[in-house]
Amino acid sequence: MNSTLHIPKAEIHVHLEATITPSLCRKFAERNKVKLSADIFGSEYAYQWEDFYDFLKKYDIVTSVIHTPEDYYELTYEYLKECASHKVLYVEAMVSSTHAKAKGMTYQSFLDSIQEASLNAERDFGIVSRYLMNGIRHLGPESVQGTAEEVLKNPHPALVGFGLAGDELHFPPHLFSKTFDMLKEENFPITVHAGEWDGPENIRKAINLLHPTRLGHGVRSIEDLELVKEIIEKDIVLETCPTSNIATKIYENYENHPVKKLHELGAKVTVNSDDPPFFNATIQGEYEAMSNIGFTDDALISMTRNAIEYSFLDEQKKREVLAKLN
Ligand code: ADE
Ligand code: ZN
């Protein structure tokens, strides 16, 4: 057990709001006077939900306890502390200004708190972190456009890129092409969820219409080997989240998950925890599971290298983090 604790790790696909542990959720709920029904808690470590749409619903309920910049500070610092204890060198986490603003925070105040926690965690534990603003598909194209415009008008040192999350099946790529053309025009780094729920046709559309250099999940590309070839030729990195995909029943188990085959075909893969306490996942656990299905230590370290090299960190800091790996 835990034969991978010594492996240096990186995580580039995790939703910051969704890193909230059940104990932190209870603490914030009490502090912010939010009533939670007991059925959201599955165990001391995890939440419970039925299927992906119920997951999205529970996700909103659980994260509705995060009300203040101080909550964001605590959430961020605690997650980074936990990651650092598992030898994680770098975290690039997605955040949602629509969440923060719905709770009355300003764009600036929630990002400033995240930045402060990030700097303090780097000082205290050596872990480096940066953040991606997420547009939420099922809030619609106007919402995603507004989120992106705000990011471009208000550059923040914590923010290094833009992502697209939410309901992939009902909100396909073409709805968001105007927003992502605008981001590309401004050379703003892009990653989008694609190929988690939807298949090759819409993964191709995501690549062609949304200009990502990374794909969130991307694993259903395995259903079309020409597409895998295209992903390799275009040097697009896959942010795979095996435990998440097993929890949501896209794949039955790690052996049947495409991550190993994609790696063997030559795709650049990384492993990530996505929404840790919703899926009983940790970044340490992802590396451990990959070791158990045959990834060698060298292969695991190459995943860490992929994650850092293809992160949206500035070049100087990237070199500093990579130096710790070498
Ligand atoms: N938002 C949070 N987790 C997600 C996931 N696994 N897929 C799409 N959107 C998400
Ligand atoms: Zn995700």
DSSP letter for each residue of 121-157: HHHHH--EEEEEEEEEGGG-HHHHHHHHHHHHHS--T
Does ligand 1 come within 6 angstroms of the Cβ of 15? yes
The residue nearest atom 9 of ligand 1, judged by CA position, is 166
Per-residue pLDDT, 25: 97
| Ligand 1 touching residue 166 (CB < 6 A) | yes
Give the pLDDT confidence score for residue 296 in this predicted structure.
97
Contacts of 52 (CB under 8 A, 6+ apart): 197, 248
Question: Is the beta carbon of 193 within 6 A of some atom in ligand 1?
Answer: yes
Q: Residues 193-243: pLDDT tens digits?
A: 999 999 999 999 999 999 999 999 999 999 999 999 999 999 999 999 999
Which atom from ligand 1 is nearest to the alpha carbon of 137?
9
| Residue from 17, 51, 60, 193 whose mutation best tests the ligand 1 pocket (most atoms within 8 A of CB) | 193
Ion ligand 2: residues, Cβ under 5 Å: 274
List 92, 196, 286, 288, catalytic entry: 196
Catalytic (active site) residue 196: yes
Q: Which residues of the chain, if any, have pLDDT below 50?
A: none
165 lines ligand 1 (CB under 6 A): yes
Q: What is the pLDDT of residue 1?
A: 55
Q: Which of 14, 20, 138, 275 to mutate to test the pocket of ligand 1 (most atoms within 8 A of CB)?
A: 275
d(CA 166, CA 84): 28
Query: Could you identify the atom of ligand 1 that is nearest to the CA of residue 59?
Result: 2
Burial 245-254 (b: 16+ CB within 10 A, else e): bbbbebbeeb
**Ligand found nearest the CA of 62:** 1
* Ligand 1 neighbour 216 (Cβ under 6 A): no
Distance CA(47)–CA(128), nearest Å, equals 28
Closest listed ligand to the CA of 279: 1
93 lines ligand 1 (CB under 6 A): no
- Is the minimum distance from the CB of 217 to ligand 1 under 6 angstroms? no
pLDDT for res 43: 82
Q: Is 244 in the pocket of ligand 1 (CB under 6 A)?
A: yes
The reported pLDDT for the residue numbered 136 is 98
The bound ligand whose nearest atom lies closest to the alpha carbon of 53 is 1
Residue nearest to atom 8 of ligand 1 (CA): 166
Q: Is the CB of 276 under 6 A from ligand 1?
A: no
Identify which of 13, 53, 56 to mutate to test ligand 1's pocket (most ligand atoms within 8 A of the CB). 56
CA of 198, nearest ligand number: 1
Sorted by sequence, the CB contacts under 8 Å of residue 168 that are 6+ apart come out as: 137, 193, 194, 196, 197, 198, 202
**Closest residue CA from atom 6 of ligand 1:** 274
Using a cut of 0.85, tell me whether the model's pTM lies above it. yes
